[in-house]
Amino acid sequence: MSRNIIAILRGILPEEATAISGVLIEAGITKLEVPLNSPKPLKSITAMAQAFGHDALIGAGTVLSSPDVARVADAGGRLIVSPDCNPDVIIATKAAGLLSYPGAFSPSECFTALRNGADGLKIFPSFLIGPDGLRAIKAVLPEGTPIYAVGGVGANNFKAWLAAGATGFGIGTGLYKPGMNPAEVRACAEQIVTAYDQEFPSVATMTQNPSFV
């Protein structure tokens, strides 16, 4: 089992991608996305996939079109995350054999995503809906739907989101901001992992051969 934390590496540069990814993986965060509005994102994804593809789930965020899905797959990515719910992107993602986590905000978007084959949901921006809003949506979703809260979540509020029904988190600036060095990223990652493991105390002993399902 792996921690349900996706590191959002917006703005990362290809020349630092493997070093930053390495410290995140060493800290216990094994799901990593490079948003496609980062500088030369496909070069970063390629480098990360070549270095850590067997140890981590590498993919892209801010994926807005079917051609983007194909480019990420060619770069070695296996995870597609979007800020919106675009059925064409979901269908293309599943056709390519990749994992699909589209952005959704309303019940209609959540069900549209699931009906088109999404593996889980990215509730975005989470700070606008809040835990109470997620709790209301979760009540009508199929049992066991993976739900990642993204936007305004972090070590200080994991507990509230988990109580509302979130099953994972996407963390951006709480883990990485452009200009941060590997040591700084490591410190942030260790804080996030510690907070996560306090809510899931069994996870720390089950991350040797992570499952990316």
Burial class (CB in 10 A: 0-12, 13-18, 19+), 31: buried
- Residue 122 annotated in active site: yes
Interatomic CA distance for residues 16 and 35, integer angstroms: 15
Decide if 199 is catalytic.
no
Which amino acid is residue 83, in one-letter code?
P
Angle at 127 between CA 77 and CA 89, to 5 degrees: 30
Q: List Cβ neighbours of 73 (8 Å cut-off, separation of 6 or more).
A: 96, 97, 98
Q: Choosing from 16, 31, 109, 122, which is the catalytic residue?
A: 122
Q: How many CA atoms does the CB half-sphere of 75 hold within 13 Å? A: 25
The Cα angle at residue 1 between residues 75 and 62, in degrees rounded to 5: 35
Which of the following is catalytic: 31, 33, 109, 138?
Answer: 33
Q: 3-state DSSP call for residue 130?
A: helix
Catalytic residue annotation: 33, 122
